[in-house]
Structure 1
Amino acid sequence: MVRIGIVGTNMITERLLEAAIAIEDFKLTAVYSRTTEQAEKFASNYGVTKLFTNLEEMASSEEIDAVYIASPNSFHAQQAILFLQNGKHVLCEKPLAANAAEVATMIEAAQEHQVLLMEAMKSTLLPGFKVIQDNLHKIGPIRRYFASYCQYSSRYDKYKEGIVLNAFNPKFANGALMDLGVYCLYPLITLFGEPNEVKATGIMLESGVDGEGSVVLSYDDKDAVVMYSKITNSSLPSEIQGEKGSMIIDKISSPEQIEIHYNDGTTEQLSIEQSHPVMYYEVKEFIDLINSGKIESNVNTFANTYTTMQVVDKVRAEIGLKFPNDEKVI
Structure 2
Amino acid sequence: MIRFGTIGTNWIVDRFIDAASKLEDFSLQAVYSRTEEKAKAFAEKHGVAQTYTSMKEMAASSDIDAVYIASPTSLHAEHAIECMKQGKHVLVEKAIASNEVEVKQMIEVAKQHNVLLMEALKTTHLPNFKVVKDHLHKIGPVRRYFASYCQYSSRYDKFNEGIVLNAFDPKFSNGSLIDIGIYCIYPMVALFGEPDNLQANAYMLSTGVDGQGSIIVNYEKMQGSVMFSKITNSYVPSEIQGEDGSIIIDSISEPTHVEIRYHDGSTEVISKEQEANAMYYEAQAFIDLIKDGKTECPINSFANSLITTSIIEQARKQIGVVFPSDQ
Normalised TM-score (structure 2): 0.99
C-alpha distance after superposition, 1:171-194 (max 9, x if no partner):
100000011000000000000000
Task: Give the equivalent residue in structure 2 for 1:174.
Answer: 174
Q: Match of 2:45, SS?
A: coil
User: How far apart, in 2, do the equivalents of 1:157 and 1:114 lie?
Assistant: 44
Task: Give the equivalent residue in structure 2 for 1:105.
Answer: 105
- Superposed counterparts of 1:21-40, under 5 Å: 21-40=21-40
Q: Is the 8 A contact 1:175 1:210 kept in 2?
A: yes
Task: Give the equivalent residue in structure 2 for 1:60.
Answer: 60
User: How far apart, in 1, do the equivalents of 2:274 and 2:220 lie?
Assistant: 35
Matched, 1:152 2:173: no
Task: Give the equivalent residue in structure 1 for 2:12.
Answer: 12
Q: Match of 1:64, SS?
A: coil
C-alpha distance after superposition, 1:268-325 (max 9, x if no partner):
1111101352010010011000000000111000000011000100000110000001
RMSD over aligned Cα atoms = 0.6
Task: Give the equivalent residue in structure 2 for 1:288.
Answer: 288
**Structure 1 segments of 4 or more deviating over 4 A?**
none
Task: Give the equivalent residue in structure 2 for 1:231.
Answer: 231
Identity of aligned residues (%): 57
C-alpha distance after superposition, 1:64-100 (max 9, x if no partner):
0110000000000011001111100000000000011
Counterpart amino acid of residue 21 in structure 1: S
Q: Is the 8 A contact 1:19 1:276 kept in 2?
A: no
Task: Give the equivalent residue in structure 1 for 2:118.
Answer: 118
User: How far apart, in 1, do the equivalents of 2:185 and 2:171 lie?
Assistant: 23
User: How far apart, in 1, do the equivalents of 2:18 and 2:190 lie?
Assistant: 27
Q: Match of 1:145, SS?
A: strand
Q: Match of 1:98, SS?
A: coil
User: How far apart, in 2, do the equivalents of 1:233 and 1:277 lie?
Assistant: 22
- Superposed counterparts of 1:72-87, under 5 Å: 72-87=72-87
Q: Is the 8 A contact 1:96 1:119 kept in 2?
A: yes
C-alpha distance after superposition, 1:14-72 (max 9, x if no partner):
01111111100000001111111111100011221111110011111101011000000
Task: Give the equivalent residue in structure 2 for 1:277.
Answer: 277
User: How far apart, in 2, do the equivalents of 1:305 and 1:230 lie?
Assistant: 22
Higher mean C-alpha deviation, range 15-24 or range 114-123: 15-24
User: How far apart, in 2, do the equivalents of 1:177 and 1:189 lie?
Assistant: 15
C-alpha distance after superposition, 1:124-168 (max 9, x if no partner):
000000000000000000000000001111110110010000000
- For structure 1, which runs of at least 5 residues remain unmatched after alignment? none
User: How far apart, in 1, do the equivalents of 2:294 and 2:218 lie?
Assistant: 33
Task: Give the equivalent residue in structure 1 for 2:240.
Answer: 240
User: How far apart, in 1, do the equivalents of 2:100 and 2:251 lie?
Assistant: 26
Counterpart amino acid of residue 266 in structure 2: T
Q: Match of 2:51, SS?
A: strand
Task: Give the equivalent residue in structure 2 for 1:249.
Answer: 249
User: How far apart, in 2, do the equivalents of 1:275 and 1:125 lie?
Assistant: 12
User: How far apart, in 1, do the equivalents of 2:316 and 2:147 lie?
Assistant: 18
User: How far apart, in 2, do the equivalents of 1:283 and 1:275 lie?
Assistant: 12
User: How far apart, in 1, do the equivalents of 2:111 and 2:93 lie?
Assistant: 19
- For structure 2, which runs of at least 5 residues remain unmatched after alignment? none
Q: Match of 1:199, SS?
A: strand
User: How far apart, in 2, do the equivalents of 1:156 and 1:37 lie?
Assistant: 27
